Chains A and B, each alone.
Chain A
Amino acid sequence: MSDKILTNREPLRSGLDLEAMHRPRARNGRAPDPHVPGGWFPMREHREDEAVDFAIVGTGAGGGVLAARLAEMGFSVVAFDAGPYFRPLEDFASDETAQSQLFWTDRRVTDGENPLKLGSNNSGKAVGGSTVHYAMVALRQRPESFRSRTKQGFGADWPVDWREMWHYYAEAEEALKISGPISYPWGPSRPRYPYRQHDLNAAALTLAKGAEKLGIKWTETPLATLSAPRGKSPPCVYRGFCRVGCSTNAKQSMLVTFIPRAIKAGAEVRDLAMVGRIETDKQGLATGLHYHRDGAWRFQRARNVVVAGYAIETPRLLLNSASDRHRHGLANSSGLVGKYLMTQSNVAVWGEMDEEVRWNKGPPSLAITEHWNYDDSKDFFGGYIHMSQGPLPVEWASVHTGARGLWGKALQDEMAKYNHMVGLKMVGEMMPQERNTVTLADEEDQYGLKVARVTYSWCDNDKAMIEHSLDFMGRQLEASGARNVWRQPDDTNHLAGTARMGDNRRTSVVDTNCRSWDVPNLFVCDGSVFPTTGGVNPSLTIQALALRTADRIQALARRGEL
């Protein structure tokens, strides 16, 4: 770690020179109220030299939920995030390029046979984490997904019973007021969603039509954006900019839900606070963390540390925290920190309709089918969902350049069809492979910390699943009346793995309580603990797991085992 004063990168691309990106906002006993321009909440502050019960690294789907629940249970909590603390109403532009301010764009290197694209499609950097720019699709994993090894013959089992997960799914759905159908067509019965489903746009109607032609079920997508007012949040106005941040606060991100809850319950949030290293003592216990804020390195003492930086930053921080006692990185006696990185396949098919579609209206994925998660007559392991689509122009152009290599007049002619396009995109389960990794590169970031090298290669099963989905989605899109259907065979999105949970300390990094096997006062609470990634988008599972982890920690504390 270096001591040089750091300037904050970014602003000008956005053309928005946001104060939030230069100076911490949550301080002096108050934190921004994301619902009120210029508004503040009172915030309890903690001294650095007095150990807090929990220091949490990251405030996204995992860290945000855990900070709120632990504070509500009466623990003292400080949650750190490297990103800014936004008030969407005054800070968010309605523009793809400007909103790149939300992404984690610090230096990273990618390689392998199928190098991952990072940044806009999988890594957020803000109080609220990636949920500030996620697409809000809120799904439960199929029960068998938690026992992939035993029930389905691949990957690894989760050390968690699916019924327990489904209990916490219901709690997470209620906390976020998920809008969804009254009865969901797949899996064991579940309660009706708290809020009613959204209307379908033409892109979603296309999915429905094709599904019915092929005789498979479909439904309105359960989404974490409101279909009716809730407190200070209005219902969704169908702007379609969800993946670059919701400027109306209809989206129930962590920033507008669990973070205010956490602060109200007495947690402190430190924004623009990059954690560089977890400190351990001679016994090998964590004693606190070094973080960078206001141009200087600082130290916060803590009785317990929780890492919730997502599947790249979590292993990077653990590896960067190596010490004499933990030579290969913290919590790494299994050698598995940074291994079994998983992404989800995000390939798509696209086609043209005669009628005007105008797919940019509404959240991007209003209709879904989980058919291939629940149909077991497949020639590959795992499953996938597919959903309707509505990319904005810069992203849409990148599909033509990335998947088809188009430029010149060919590109412009394709782009001219924007308002007539439809698409189907999968989120598919890629296999956990030990060779897919996050390691440290011999290169430093703006804080003087070793950057992550992300190595990824698809396996034969991944390829078989991709081929299956492209074939099926292509037939479905044609059945819906689309012309000139073509494939985008290369996209990936969500991340998981790299600090997997398990029943055995030799084959996992954390136990069923998400507690490190090696360092008993260190926990991991984010997508990195997934042993398998399942065939659905991950955030609801991360949130449910965080709710469960909070209850587990409370139980450990009551038994005096913390």
Chain B
Amino acid sequence: MTDGLPRYPDYDVLRKRNTVSWNDPTRTAIDRRLAVDRDPHTLTEGEFATLQAICDRVVPQEQGPDLVPIAAYVDQELTLDLSLGYRYAGLPPAKEAWHRAIAALDAESVKAFDAPFVAVDAARRDTLLTRMQKGELKDPAWGDMAPDLFFKQHVLVDIVAAYYAHPTAWSRIGYGGPASPRGYVRMGFGMRDPWEAAEAHPGEEAKAARKNRNV
């Protein structure tokens, strides 16, 4: 715990799947989420690779079996043409916005670093994304779409919401996850229900891990 951040060793929210904390609709919803199709349906292979490269910087993940296929969720949302319920007047509909932004980002990358976004290193990707966030990108490929608005409304919304909707993310932050029909009982300071993640206080990692294997 060198950075002082809470840790929940061995906590996996999916261990609760067959307990009274999950009802049938929840099991259906999460099972389908975990079974997401990992191939793109709306974006081309090339666009999808660029999107993955963006996701890697917005929510860096360690390689491994728990990796959240964020780009697949974003593509799925575009395929289903789901809307948040509003759109800023300065943005085209989501699908068109993503197509355009990916093309523009590649153009910017070629202009600045002589290579498409997927081919530049992490530091350069961060530079480009930061400039997008600040509205400093000006390539004509953006058209009338403001890069900073796109960053705020899509990069930060679509990607981040997809990640934090995933059990892997919940386990990492020690969130209890689904809770129906059983909710919680112990609500005061420092109180933990036995079906919640146990935080590893210094020197007690093994104890917390044991609790976490039995949520």
Contacts and interface: CB of A to CB of B under 8 A. Distances in A.
B150 interface: no
A4 interface: no
B115 interface: no
Given A9-B82, A393-B169, A394-B165, A15 B181 contact: no
A408 interface: yes
Contact of B29 (A14, A117, A412, A418): A14
A302 to B, nearest CB: 29
B60 interface: yes
Nearest to A234: B181
Interface in A217-253: 236-241, 247-248
Contacts of B180: 92, 94, 237, 239, 241, 247-248
Contacts of B120: none
A111 interface: yes
Contacts of B164: 393-394, 396-397, 415
A106 to B, nearest CB: 7
A98 B29 contact: yes
Interface in A91-142: 91-98, 100, 103-111, 115-120, 123
Given A393-B173, A416-B173, A106 B85 contact: yes
B50 to A, nearest CB: 17
Contacts of A106: 83, 85
B108 to A, nearest CB: 18
A342 B51 CA distance: 38
A239 B5 contact: no
A254 to B, nearest CB: 20
Contact of B25 (A98, A115, A398, A420): A98
Q: Which bracket fits the contact residues of B?
A: 35 or more
Interface in A412-468: 412-413, 415-420, 453-454
B192 to A, nearest CB: 7
Contacts of A361: 176, 183-184, 186-187, 193
A503 interface: no
A357 B189 contact: yes
Contacts of A14: 29
A106 B86 CA distance: 8
A398 B181 contact: no
B156 A407 contact: yes
Contacts of B26: 93-95, 98
Given A238-B185, A408-B60, A93 B28 contact: yes
Interface string B160-202: 1101110001101111101111111111111111001101000
Contact of A397 (B5, B6, B25, B160): B160
B25 A90 contact: yes
Interface stretch (B73-81, B95-103, B136-144): B73-81
B126 interface: yes
B190 to A, nearest CB: 5
Nearest to A99: B29
Contacts of B58: 407-408, 411
B66 interface: no
A279 to B, nearest CB: 28
Nearest to B122: A408
A93 B25 contact: yes
A205 interface: yes
Contact of A92 (B25, B156, B170, B186): B25
Given A94-B180, A240-B179, A419 B29 contact: no
A357 B87 CA distance: 35
Nearest to B27: A93
B57 interface: yes
A237 B179 CA distance: 9
A191 interface: no
Grouping DSSP codes into helix (H, G, I), strand (E, B) and loop, the B interface class, with mixed when no group exceeds half, is loop
A247 B85 contact: no
Interface string B106-143: 00000000000000000000100100010000000000
A248 B20 CA distance: 13
B23 interface: yes
Given A205-B189, A398-B160, A95 B178 contact: yes
Among A91, A115, A353, A415, residue most surrounded by chain B Cβ atoms (within 10 Å): A415
B86 A116 contact: yes
A560 interface: no
Nearest to B169: A393
A416 B5 contact: yes
B45 interface: no
Given A362-B184, A401-B157, A356 B190 contact: yes
A96 B31 CA distance: 15
A417 B59 contact: no
Contacts of B84: 105, 117-120
Contact of A93 (B5, B152, B178): B178
A115 B86 CA distance: 10
Q: Most chain-A Cβ atoms within 10 A of its Cβ — which of B26, B30, B180, B191?
A: B180
A93 B29 contact: yes
A358 B174 CA distance: 9
A238 B183 contact: yes
A47 interface: no
Nearest to B7: A416
A201 B174 contact: no
B24 interface: yes
A415 B82 contact: no
Contacts of A105: 82-85
B3 interface: yes
A282 interface: no
Contacts of B129: 407
A349 B132 CA distance: 27
A405 B189 contact: no
Given A13-B77, A417-B6, A405 B33 contact: no
Nearest to B185: A238
A16 interface: yes
14 contacts: A12-B76, A15-B33, A16-B28, A96-B165, A98-B29, A108-B86, A118-B85, A119-B86, A202-B188, A238-B184, A239-B184, A362-B187, A397-B161, A401-B152
Given A97-B161, A453-B89, 11 more contacts: A90-B25, A92-B23, A92-B25, A94-B26, A98-B26, A238-B183, A239-B180, A356-B189, A356-B199, A358-B187, A361-B184
Interface of A: 9-10, 12-16, 90-98, 100, 103-111, 115-120, 123, 199-202, 205, 236-241, 247-248, 353, 355-358, 360-362, 392-394, 396-398, 401-402, 405, 407-409, 411-413, 415-420, 453-454
